[in-house]
Chains A and B, each alone.
Chain A
Amino acid sequence: MTYIAKPRLHHPKLPTNALGYTHRDYEGAVSTLCAGCGHDSISAAIIQACFELSLPPHKIAKLSGIGCSSKTPTYFLGKSHGFNSVHGRMPSVLTGANLANRDLVYLGISGDGDSASIGLGQFAHCLRRAVNMVYVVENNGVYGLTKGQFSATADKGSKVRRGPVNTDSPIDLVALALQLGASFVGRSFSGDKRQLVPLIKAAIEHRGAAFIDVISPCVAFNNNPESTKSFDYVRAHNEAVNRLDVILERDEITADYAPGTVETVTQHDGSMLRLHKLAPDYDPHDRISAMAYLQQRHAEGEVVTGLLFVEPDSDDLHALSGTVEIPLNSLDEAELCPGPAALVQFNAAHR
């Protein structure tokens, strides 16, 4: 495999965002994933979301573990620094990066094997710590990169081609994220751009640990109709609780929605999430009822998607630990080194 750069010729009429960037400025190298892989659709949604939010690409850091899903950061945001780390350990690397510089946007890209199998511990602990990030699991229920073994999100009773039947219970990362204290939890489907793009935008605008589980069919190893991670299954059983618009402070606010079915959530940075509620009894502010609702629908064989929980005023790790407002990596020697004078006192106290 080699690196393929996309030609960077700009069409003069390409629309630009508030920064003057075009969509192309958010793209990466040409994908080397299988044609039709759900992961590529998620990359496209990330590109779209960052373009629409007018984020300066170099102020985004993309980190991942290992897997087909974790390879995708090469295929979006080519002007951002990226780090393809080790299998299952993206959360710790992202946490460290975030500690060093609180001013960047952190995208953590992972797979279901990466996060629910080998990396379940790190998945859990970085959500507990309220690291300010968008954590995306591209969930296909298999290990794509190692050619089709079960991951921990695989359905009970599912079968690997010419292989064994899975007898283990699946892990629902959304349920775990809710329990672990993530302050933004959503689920979507790689094939549903209308739902996924605003969800990613809202997660980026959110301060704190935002987790999105994106069901992303693996066309090579797990797109059989009975799999709950297949296109057909999700299309037939998708129970979307809401649809989302993200309105930034600078956007004009229009009131074109009927009261009663729409709820507006204002996040810490002033951005507004306009939720078109499809399930009228669904309350995205109550962690416990979100957990209960999720389990009820799951029992019915339905896949609940949408913004499942949000705590708009949550604090992040930096706020909780009281670090300075400027990035730690920008502190200079004068601010860091106590110098010889302090040693005089220190030595005296050790005699």
Chain B
Amino acid sequence: MDGLSRLSIESVNDFVIKFANVNGSGSASANALFAKSVLRMGIPASSRNIFPSNIQGLPTWYEVRICEKGHLGRRGGVDIMVAMNPQTWDEDLAEIEPGGYLFYDSTKPLPPSKFRDDITVIGAPLTTICNREYNDARQRQLFKNIIYLGALSALLNMDVAAIEQLISEQFRGRDTLIRPNLRALNLGREWALNEHECPIGLRLERVDKVGDQIFITGNDAAALGAVYGGATVCAWYPITPSSSLAEAFSNHCRRYRADPETKKKRYAIIQAEDELSSIGMVVGAAWNGARAFTATSGPGISLMQEFIGLAYFAEIPAVIFDVQRGSPSTGMPTRTQQADILSCAFASHGDTKHVLLFPEDPRESFLFAAEAFDLADRLQTPVFVMLDLDIGMNDWLVAPLAWDENRRYDRGKLMTAEQLDAGVEFGRYLDVDGDGIPYRTLPGTHPTRGAFFTRGTTKDRYARYSEEGPDYVDNMQRLLRKFDTAKRLVPRPIKRVARESTRYGAIYFGSTSPAMAEALEALEERGIHLDTLRVRAYPFHEDVFDFVAGHDRVFVVEQNRDAQLRTLLAIDGEIDPARLVPILHYDGTPITARFIVKAIGDILDVVTLAPLRRALP
């Protein structure tokens, strides 16, 4: 034992804890309580759900990374495993770092062969305690989760008051539940304090590093962004990991969008029969002047293709949230990827290109969601907000959401009845301002002027049916000008210059952000300096190509197999692909700093070592 404890990991406010549970066992709320308690102690943390495509019975994991320094991307490796699922015992055990800890329910004895001798094993008789304390099977199951939380609170030196406070907040209004939960918490805590040395090598100590940050999922934040952005119509079809976005929109609307007097809804939400229908409703509503959106994932995007092309060509503002998951097909429905970049950028048949926004976290999901409606109205075109499962379904610690009081919606170029009365010329596809964006009228605007017929077939500048080649080309050229205008309107990329001047750069986007920030620090410690550019939208701003031009080699870090962003960069910027080095992570887990450091480090080591090797005989 002495030898072991000397090997044990010792770490304050910096470790990874993973809970291995059975889906549907009620562990989710206890685990979330754990993460929030850490935050209440002022220590930054992030959490990730790893769950199967199943409702009950299959394994599910919840991973919490605690890091006082604030690195909150997935780290990889586990320092303490709370192994509550016998099914996954072997793999869970294998994942623990040497010197790490195993916490498990020791009620049923396990043979020594089931353990490792390079970790500290903490067996708590959870089932025994539950059977002793509770008669009801459901209670035994639910309180077991709170009991292990109680034990962990002692083992990890958590602030019990913070947990107790959270429990009473959680059950506010259902006060009879508070006492039994506090009691279960204490049962676990008492067991640990009496039966085990507390705390273990992994410890939490109160600091003040969380500040006013909030803990929120991207889907929740994006849905709120849609409310703030003025969306009134949402049509969707359930698909993981996007369903919770539409559901959150419904919850937010109930709260913020009821007419104060009549209580009637200032919004409409339709759960459509499929994605063809949901995008069709969005197109119809947006054509008619409502801000409308759908939320979906890759398979839904595939089904929406025809309509997306129509919306591009008929110039209809439509907002599409794509919460990306492992693909193709149903692929890995409960795992994350950034693999719909190309399928969204060029969605549909014919010559089409679309505006994409890449939020890096839930806070930007909120901002870009609201922004997407302005952009869609201004540009009269579909706008995609590209989340992924990691951002969408996991709680992230981010700066509080903010809204500028002076901000006003940009409803774009809508021609009014007054303008029509004043004799302003109306041609639906007329490029009056030279920016490629025409004026539109909404149905019902004026009794005699401004009506037009919307069609997906070719038309002239006045929306009249035409099969003439020159009319088609004229229109397609204008659409290109419009796409050029989009470059100036979408969120600009964010550049970070390395401490030392360097020939190397890295481009990344979306949920890669936290892993990238951490990787840069680690690379810098190894003497590798990289300038970075975080791309936030397509079409690419000129800054993106200037950045590439300013470096000998640019790593493009993304979470898909085919280097999709790199392809887009090479095509749009007419860049020699050899200058863009792909760094690709696509096993369905969120990318880690360790992965980036190794991938970039390996390449740069080879580059710097190669001349030496060649010199050898």
Which of chain B's residues have a CB closer than 8 A to the CB of A89? Answer: 276-277, 280, 306-307
A94 near B284 with CB under 8 A, answer: yes
Contact with B along A199-211 (1 / 0, CB 8 A): 0000000000000
Count of chain B residues near A, Cβ 8 A: 75
B292 near A336 with CB under 8 A, answer: no
Report, as a range, how many residues of chain A touch the other chain.
35 or more
- The closest CB in chain A to the CB of B400 belongs to A347
Instruction: Decide yes or no whether B484 CB sits under 8 A from chain A.
Output: no
Within 8 A of A (CB), among B424-456: 441-448, 451-456
Bound-complex Cα distance A295 to B270 (A)? 33
Bound-complex Cα distance A56 to B235 (A)? 30
A92 near B281 with CB under 8 A, answer: yes
Bound-complex Cα distance A97 to B259 (A)? 21
B277 near A121 with CB under 8 A, answer: yes
A342 to chain B, nearest CB (A): 6
Instruction: Decide yes or no whether A86 CB sits under 8 A from chain B.
Output: yes
B373 to chain A, nearest CB (A): 10
Bound-complex Cα distance A63 to B453 (A)? 9
Which of chain A's residues have a CB closer than 8 A to the CB of B87? Answer: none
B451 near A321 with CB under 8 A, answer: no
Which of chain A's residues have a CB closer than 8 A to the CB of B227? Answer: 336-338
B230 near A96 with CB under 8 A, answer: no
A100 near B465 with CB under 8 A, answer: no
Instruction: Decide yes or no whether A159 CB sits under 8 A from chain B.
Output: no
Within 8 A of A (CB), among B11-53: 39-40
- The closest CB in chain B to the CB of A330 belongs to B289
Given contacts A322-B264, A324-B264, contact A101 B289 (CB under 8 A): yes
B607 to chain A, nearest CB (A): 45
Which of chain A's residues have a CB closer than 8 A to the CB of B270? Answer: 95, 99, 129
Contact with B along A322-339 (1 / 0, CB 8 A): 111100110101011111
Bound-complex Cα distance A335 to B232 (A)? 11
- The closest CB in chain A to the CB of B279 belongs to A92
Instruction: Decide yes or no whether A148 CB sits under 8 A from chain B.
Output: no
Bound-complex Cα distance A73 to B290 (A)? 23
- The closest CB in chain B to the CB of A2 belongs to B466
B403 near A103 with CB under 8 A, answer: no
Which of chain B's residues have a CB closer than 8 A to the CB of A95? Answer: 270, 277, 280-281, 284
Instruction: Decide yes or no whether A125 CB sits under 8 A from chain B.
Output: yes
**12 contacts across the A-B interface (CB closer than 8 A):** A61-B288, A79-B451, A83-B453, A91-B280, A101-B288, A124-B273, A125-B277, A318-B268, A322-B265, A329-B289, A333-B408, A347-B400
Instruction: Known pairs A82-B453, A83-B284, A97-B285; list 7 more (Cβ under 8 Å).
Output: A81-B442, A84-B453, A89-B276, A122-B277, A329-B288, A337-B230, A343-B400
Binding site for B on A (CB under 8 A): 1-3, 56-59, 61, 63, 73-74, 78-86, 89, 91-101, 103-104, 121-122, 124-125, 129, 318, 321-325, 328-329, 331, 333, 335-340, 342-343, 346-347, 350-351
Complex A-B, nearest 8 residue pairs according to Cβ-Cβ distance, in ascending order:
A96-B284, A92-B280, A100-B290, A96-B281, A81-B443, A93-B284, A96-B285, A329-B289
